């Protein structure tokens, strides 16, 4: 069975400082992993995806994530936070393409 744990429900960082949103997963097979972002009153937008190619994945808006099989982690990072990054972020795991499992989400707050 697959599952995903987002370790922090809220993260606050100052504008211009690094962002780290943590995600651990459990999967029976080689999973596909995704990060989605949800801005207030908006739909879900794909930030990046890992599908068994390079372990360091670059996404949109300067975000990237590293797949670490030994740690079963897929943490999302960004070197320098921007005010527009304030949103809810979801880590997602999939063993097969027909069913994806969302984490509970991490709300990112950006302090001026």
What is the secondary structure of 18-51 as a DSSP string?
A: -EEE-EEEE-SS--EEEEEEE-TT--EEEEEEES
Which is nearer to other proteins, 42 or 69 (by Cβ)? 42
Reading the block at residue 3, the tokens are 């599952």
Residue 92 CA to residue 112 CA, distance in Å, equals 29
Q: Out of 7, 15, 22, 51, which residue is the one contacting other proteins (CB under 8 A)?
A: 51
Reading the block at residue 10, the tokens are 């809220």
Binding mask 53-92 for other proteins (x = CB under 8 A): -------------------------------------x--
The residue written with tokens 């100052």 in the block is: 14
Q: Out of 46, 60, 83, 111, which residue is the one contacting other proteins (CB under 8 A)?
A: 46
Binding-site ranges for other proteins (CB under 8 A) = 32, 34, 36, 42-46, 49, 51, 90, 94, 97-105
């Amino acid at each position: 069975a697959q599952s995903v744990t987002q370790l922090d429900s809220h993260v606050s960082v100052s504008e211009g400082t690094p962002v780290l949103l943590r995600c651990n997963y459990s999967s029976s097979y080689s999973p596909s992993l995704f990060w989605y972002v949800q801005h207030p009153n908006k739909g879900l937008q794909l930030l990046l995806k890992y599908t068994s190619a390079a372990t360091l994945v670059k996404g949109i808006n300067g975000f990237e994530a590293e797949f670490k099989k030994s740690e079963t982690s897929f943490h999302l990072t960004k070197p320098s936070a921007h005010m527009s990054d304030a949103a809810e972020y979801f880590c997602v795991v999939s063993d097969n393409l027909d069913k994806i499992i969302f984490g509970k989400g991490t709300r990112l707050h950006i302090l001026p």
